[in-house]
Structure 1
């Protein structure tokens, strides 16, 4: 068995078809479309297709992505992995573990600090040291449940001719948002998709927000649901202007499907109840559906610490001795960090508190996905005594899919 650059995309399509039936690669047309898509993606300098070969036969593969991720106030080098596949006759032989190990070691060698992925099964990747990411909520409501706001921003339909404006707006949002990931030009392909519509709001000629959406037909041609696909804003005025645009669809749209990481979005709606109007426990009304997707794994802990040394994780001034175990790579990180009013740095002084946990829980903690008391209560962290750190979380937001 050996790893090498993947160039046989027809073989990878066949492998993907067998590993992921949900892709529906059943027709020759769909298989050709998928093959060309993979070949086109491999042509980008930040995308790296890798195959696992047994002699001349492709038995597994994956795509690795070079990313830049906003971690609190600093942009760091990140690595993404997607379309991890092992062919049916080779499953349960440890090849997936070999793939993830290679991906992580290559990423570290290339100066990547943080890895992330979208799991086909979260528990599988938890065993490989990936920590659970933020919770996403999908609300579904009638447009009239949204408030309207007085706005002076200009509203316009956006097309591929506005690519530069959309890209600038998105990357301004990235610079303001913990967890956000830079994306290259191909990440804005929605501007060219006929089924998606994009609306932007401008202030004195500068795009301050945009959303893309598509319609899903109901039981007849006058019945439609609006599904939001992208929703980005850099100012409060832009956010309110975009919500007003959704409200204005109340005469033509049955419901709006709205994904968000905002835990307080219910307070925006005049009535937070989901269109299903269902009770979920006693007299509690369903407001949204929740799920976990993106998972994180810190690849280089010392480099990660250097990146977050100016971030405040709480109020305590205290020395913490970390023991972080990584069973996949067979590593244990032991170091004492001095927190000065919540800001961390390495110290040679003796620790006042000892914290022991695995690399996945450590990654979720450092990225702001979970509090330290929650990990301790769940039995995921051993803490020798309470500290006033990692309680007030700044949770990450990432809308980059790969």
Structure 2
């Protein structure tokens, strides 16, 4: 019989050993173990951020980090759960420890009133089988500095001062409030932003900070290195152009600017996004980024989700829609919900007959509600069913989003 609970401080060392072996590719094991123990102990003292462990016969077999986030969900804000640092003792792999941890996390966050949970997958198929759906791809660019646009000035840029940290966080939250999928910074996220191995340059106008860029260096040679951009936050395109001008000016010192972004249009900003690699297509086609699976999202509670989204406008559509979700992993979310859309406003209906019925797995619905995939695409791939094909375009419009989700939070 398993028990999952928040770890006591004296148990953090045992979880650190498990996590170090599970994520051994992150570097020197002794240094990694020390940094993990310090970080996990710190997290376990925070409100809304804890380390949980799974025990059998009083022995710790695995654990995870659970975090409460505020996320911009379409046009509103929602509480969502974050699952991170899922780690299983190497001796107890393939004993369903990770499965039970995720089951616990889903129940834990649902009981806290959250309708969604999210994570970065170590294996996409593992989590997709548990009802998690893909978000947007994360793209890594390696750009020669001279290919960034060069503006006329970078006069508003300067190094971050200690007394400006609160203004930097406020700048981030302004950006997050405008972009679907962005998470508010937790205390742990703020600590990570201001870690010692990063540099931060700010765009300052009077007493206001309208943007910032955090970055570090990747050593290659005493005189030739790469610059890694961790966060680039800006209020408007004028601010962005000054940061681009700064990056353009670094050509004499840095070979490449390395940047990870979920923005599928980022290459339009760059005069030549070529990353210097030519093996991808074995042709004249230039490789300009590599992609990875970013966040995966999971709906936990359909009725709660649409209550949270009651003020959102689903593109002014009129329709009574029955959504049948197949959720074998988390049975509390399995079944049908009737949603009445009036001029785009959604409400749960208990007594109306549906105009149309759609059926799909929870993983695909989760991707669709986040705007990562369209209903039309799910129909095209045979991943969704609809009772009346004449409604395909209407249902597609209901779930179309102005923005695809983006997130700059690591956990």
Same-fold status (TM-score > 0.5):
yes
- C-alpha change, 1:26 and 1:204, in structure 2 (3 Å) is closer
Partner of 2:410: 401
Q: Can you give the 5+ residue segments of structure 1 that lack an aligned partner in the other structure? A: none
Q: What do you get for the CA RMSD once the two structures are aligned? A: 2.0
Change (3 A) 1:260 1:346: same
Equivalent position of 1:32 in the other structure: 34
Name the CA distance, whole Å, in 2 between partners of 1:362 and 1:62: 25
1:177 aligns with 2:179: yes
Separation in structure 2 between the aligned mates of residue 245 and residue 20 of structure 1, nearest angstrom: 35
Distance 1:393 1:377, change over 3 A: farther
State yes or no: 1:250 paired with 2:247: no
Q: Does 1:270 align with 2:271?
A: yes
What TM-score results when the alignment is normalised by the length of structure 2? Answer: 0.91
Counting matched residue pairs gives 400
Q: Structure 1, residues 40-99: CA drift from partner, whole Å, max 9, x if none?
A: 111111212211112231112111111111112211111111111222333222222211
Range 381-390 or range 44-53, more displaced: 381-390
Residue 205 of structure 2 aligns with which residue? 203
What does the per-residue CA deviation read over 1:300-352, in whole Å, with 9 as the maximum and x for residues that have no partner?
21121122233334454222211011111224231222233444323332222
Q: C-alpha displacement at 1:153, in angstroms?
A: 5.8
**How far apart, CA to CA, are the structure 1 residues paired with 2:287 and 2:165?**
38
**Aligned residues of 1:153 and 1:238 also touching (Cα < 8 A):** no
For 1:12, the equivalent position in structure 2 comes to 15
1:100: Cα distance to partner? 0.9
Show the counterpart of 1:369: 372
| C-alpha contact 1:108 1:299 (8 A) present in aligned 2 | yes
- Aligned pairs (5 A) from 1:63-142: 63-142=65-144
Closer, same or farther: CA 110–56 of 1 in aligned 2, 3 Å:
same
More displaced stretch, 294-303 vs 334-343: 334-343
Instruction: Answer yes or no: is the 8 Å Cα contact 1:365–1:372 preserved in 2.
Output: yes
CA contact (8 A) 1:226 1:253 kept: yes
Shift of 1:392: 5.0
* Aligned equivalent of 1:309: 310
Task: Provide the secondary structure at the position in 1 that maps to 2:275.
Answer: coil
1:151 Cα deviation from its structure 2 partner? 4.8
Cα drift, residue 237 of structure 1:
1.5
CA distance in structure 2 between the aligned counterparts of 1:193 and 1:51, rounded to whole angstroms: 27
Q: Structure 1 residues 26 and 291, CA, compared in 2 at 3 Å: closer, same or farther?
A: closer
Other-structure match for 2:393:
387
Partners of 1:99 and 1:177 lie apart in 2 by 31
1:121 Cα offset (Å)? 0.6
Contact 1:325/1:359, CA 8 A, preserved across alignment:
yes
Q: Give the Cα separation in 1 of the matches to 2:23 and 2:110.
A: 29
Equivalent pair of 2:15/2:63 in contact (CA under 8 Å): yes
